[in-house]
Structure formats: C-alpha cells, structure tokens
Structure 1
Amino acid sequence: MHHLMHRHLGKIVAGAALALTGTAAMAAITLPSDAGAAGSGNGGRPAAAGAPVPGSDGAPPPPGVVERAPAQGKRGTGRDPLTDDELRRAQDLALPRTRHGAVADVTGRPGLERLTTDLVELTPVQARLADPPRLARVSFYDYRSDSYLTTTVNLTTSAVESADTQHGVQPPPGHDEAVEAARLLIADPLGAGLRQDYRAATGHDLTGPDPLSVTGFVYRGRAEGEAPGALGDCGKHRCVRLFTKIKNGQWIDTRRFVIDLSARTVARLG
C-alpha cells in the first residue's frame, strides 16, 4: 500500500499545502489539536491563582443552558437576514416567465440554475421611509444561452424592481455546480488519477461525487492567460476548477483540471 501510494501520488504533504503530480495528488491534512485547551476552560489561558476550577471538587460541572432560537416570522425588518419565507418568495418572484425548455440548469434539465439570494442595501431615501421596503437580489445562470441573470424584487410589494441579463459574466459557482463538475470529472478519462487516488486512500472505487467534499472556483480562460484548445471558450462558457477532499479524509489535488459545465467536457491545464 505504501509503495503504491508513493509511486502514483508522489510526495504526501502534511499541512494545508497540496502536492502536485501529473494527474491528481493527495495531501494529508494535520488538523490543529485541542491539546492545551482542556483543563483551562478559558481559551487556553491559565486559570488565575486560587480561582476555582469547575468540577475540581469532584462534582460534575453544571449543565449548560441552550436558549431556544426565536420563532422566525414570515417577514424580517430592517437589516434582518432574509427569512425562509422571504427567500422562497424572492426566488419565485424573480423567475422569468419562459416557455418550458427555453432555459436549462447545470444538469441540462429545464429551469434556471439558482445561484444566490441576498438582501439589498436600501438607498438613503428608502431607508428614511416610515415602512422601508425589503428588497432582495436573486441571481441565476442559464446554461441554454450561457447568460447570467440578476433580478431585484420588492418583497413588500411583490414587484420586480429591475432585471438584467449579461453574457460573459461568470460569478462564483454554487454547490450544485461544483458537485456536477466533480461528477463530470470522475466519469471522464482525465479523471483516472482522481479515481486512482481515491482507491489508494480508501480501498473503494469512486463512482460518483457523494464521497467527496468539493468547492468550485471559476476559470475564465484567456482572461487568466494562455488557454489552448477548448479552454478558449471558457469565460463565455461556464468553466470551473475544483478543490476536492475525501469526506473526513485527505485532499486530492484536482486544480489542474478545467470542467466546462456548458459543453460538459473536461480539459487539463499544462
């Protein structure tokens, strides 16, 4: 096992750094230990001389008290975070009325890919109103037309305040997009190194993204330097690279691979 890992993976690195190899590479992560915090009870600082230590007389420490979370209303006030009800309403209000199949999500199914829903900062005039409106900005990506859509809705009046569609704009990918990118990489011949590294680390075959924790970041093609071949479409297409980690395990370096979610293809940098 040791010789297999050494031959395929190259150097295994302790710490947060990722070791690079010709395919994928694993890095062992040394998590900070909580040694030193135990027994101090005050963030690792020594207790003051003569100060009683909870439980030092042999009696168990008193139980902690957990306060019940306040009930969430349907509508927040002021700069309160959007409530679950407001999030749902904002997304429903922001969805454009399109014919079935006119737009597509990251999997190619009909419907827009939802990205973010955020509370909008009010203008000074709006903030001075007796009942300031609650505004939310919702963003989507349409894989049918490779377009980025942002819509601002007024949750107080249920009206759409503004809507904008842009091409060639690539916001950070959402979790579902990162998972789909991992799925495409695992199934591609270029994912052989990832599959081998996972097998070496766990003894199991990697057939899908579920055993992995993945985070995506956008690759913009020529805007970031030389982008040969199919990578030249990135920026216009939705392309991502991945930070990949085995759940409760090691990191596997997949940063050299670019997954074009628009074309559903995989390429390699360098």
Structure 2
Amino acid sequence: MNASQRVPWRTRKVAVAALALGLTAAATTYVMAQQDVSGTDSGNSTKFNVVGDGDLPTKKPKLGEDRAGLSAEETGYAIHVASTDSSVPSDATDVRGKDGPEFLYADLPDLSEGHTGRTAVVALYDYTHDVTYDQVVDLEAGKVIETKKSGTAQPPTSATEADLAMKLAIESDADLGFTTEFEENMGVPLIDPDQVDYVAGAWVFNKTTSKGQECGKDRCAQLMVSTASGVYLNTFDFVVNLSTQKIVRTQ
C-alpha cells in the first residue's frame, strides 16, 4: 500500500447489523464498541451485541477489575463521559455531520501510561475542527482525567466511516476503475455497498504518492473491496477524504 495504514481496519457489517435493528446512531456506536475493546476483535468480526435500549448509559455501571476487559456497560459509559467532557467543543460533529464527535474506539490504557484504578481510553474525532481526542476516563470517578488533542493523528476508522467511504466511492462521478472491474466480474453495475464486502483504514500521506497531501490534516480512508465471489478489486489509486467527502486520486 502506498501510504501508512493505521490498523485495525473496520468493516461495515457490525454497523449494518445494528442499524437493521432500528437503533439510534448512539446505539449503533454502543453496539459497535463491544467489538473493539481491549483488543478482543481485529475489526473484521460480524458479531454484535445489543445493549439496553440503545442509549449510552449516563450512570456509572458495575465496574470490573482494573485490567479486566471492558464490559458493554463500561464501554458505553466511557463513551458518554469522554464525548460530553468540556475538552470536546460543543459544536463537534461526527462523520455524517451530526452533533457530537465520531466515536472511533475504546480500550484499556497501556500499562506503560501508569494509570491506576478502573480506566478506559476513548478515541474520538471531531469533524468540525478535524481534531482527534484521546480521552482517558476514570470510570470510578466518572470523569476525564487526561486529554490528548491532535490535528494530525489518524486512529483506525470506525464502521460508520467505512460505510460512508464506500458510499461516496460508489456514488462518485470520478470514474473509478474498481466499479468497472466489479461489473466485468459480476455482470451487473455496482450501485450499492451491499453488493460488496469491504473494509476501510485511515490513510495518511507519506510522500510515496503524487497526490493526497491533504490526508493527515484531513481525515482520509482507503478502501479494500471484494466481490461476493472473493475477487479483490483495485482500489489503491484513490482514497476518500471524509473531511470534505470527496475522492482523492493518489496516482
């Protein structure tokens, strides 16, 4: 691949499964979070769990041992605390332009960071300002105890970002070659993301491509797409700029 990838890649299947149940956007995030905590999933699982009524918990749940994997309830509570903290601007928006930052992942902090007690690190992305937030949440106290803000860090993509990247690529008028490849292989045009399997990874310009210099400051995603028969399509000549919602040619 021509630029630095930040793994794990995210599939769209968890988000689709959650949305099929009629859950809210917050609920979908909450459902997805269960797959991404504590290194329990690489981002390629299609399993999911529905928790409660779909709203993020605002009250402290029962807490596990300090280094035990985060429970669904703990994850949801951590997301709530991190995203509503005063360090996140009130006008923050997610990848679809809705109020509140995009939730990327939740996990236990690295041991090397020296945090004690029951804590979680939550990664968020604010599309209004193109800023990443790493929030360390003290679950016992119910507050953010450390914030790292970056205008260049590009954590792994969320499933919602992968969905939007795929949709933008299919609907683009940029005459992308992978759509032609799909039609040649399958005999029908590619008009809907459900026709393919795909994952997306954050993409950052590193001077090995002739274009895409904005990626790093802007939030960009590279897609890996395959047909139902397992044929991988060539998607390495472009990335999707999620900040501007436009296709960026890299070659």
TM-score normalised to structure 1 length: 0.63
Corresponding residue pairs, total: 190
Q: Which amino acid aligns with 1:160?
A: V
Cα deviation, residue 100, structure 1? 9.6
Question: Is the CA contact 1:82–1:118 (under 8 Å) kept in the aligned structure 2?
Answer: yes
Distance 1:126 1:255 in 2: 40
1:2-41 equivalent positions in 2, closer than 5 A: none
SS of the residue 1:233 aligns to:
coil
Aligned to 2:207: 224
Distance 1:160 1:109 in 2: 23
Aligned to 2:101: 112
What residue ranges of structure 1 are gaps of 5+ in the alignment? Answer: 1-72, 128-132
Cα–Cα, structure 1 residues 232 and 123, in superposed 2: closer, same or farther, change >3 Å?
closer
Aligned to 1:214: 198
Aligned to 2:17: none
Aligned to 1:260: 241
Question: Is the CA contact 1:74–1:83 (under 8 Å) kept in the aligned structure 2?
Answer: no
- Please give the per-residue CA displacement for 1:57-77, whole angstroms capped at 9, x wherever unaligned: xxxxxxxxxxxxxxxx94321
1:1-270 equivalent positions in 2, closer than 5 A: 74-96=62-84, 102-121=91-110, 133-221=117-205, 223-228=206-211, 231-247=212-228, 249-270=230-251
* Comparing 206-215 and 149-158, the one that deviates more: 206-215
Distance 1:216 1:123 in 2: 29
SS of the residue 1:224 aligns to:
coil
Q: Which amino acid aligns with 2:250?
A: L
Bigger relative CO (Cα 8 Å, ≥ 6 apart): 2
What residue ranges of structure 2 are gaps of 5+ in the alignment? Answer: 1-60
Question: Is the CA contact 1:185–1:191 (under 8 Å) kept in the aligned structure 2?
Answer: no
Cα–Cα, structure 1 residues 247 and 83, in superposed 2: closer, same or farther, change >3 Å?
farther
* Comparing 83-92 and 212-221, the one that deviates more: 212-221
- Same amino acid, percent of matched pairs: 27
SS of the residue 1:232 aligns to:
coil
Distance 1:187 1:194 in 2: 12
Distance 2:112 2:90 in 1: 37
TM-score normalised to structure 2 length: 0.67
What is the root-mean-square deviation in Å for CA atoms of aligned residues? 2.6
SS of the residue 2:100 aligns to:
coil
- Please give the per-residue CA displacement for 1:159-178, whole angstroms capped at 9, x wherever unaligned: 22112221111122222212
Distance 1:259 1:208 in 2: 17
SS of the residue 2:239 aligns to:
strand
Distance 2:189 2:209 in 1: 35
Aligned to 1:60: none
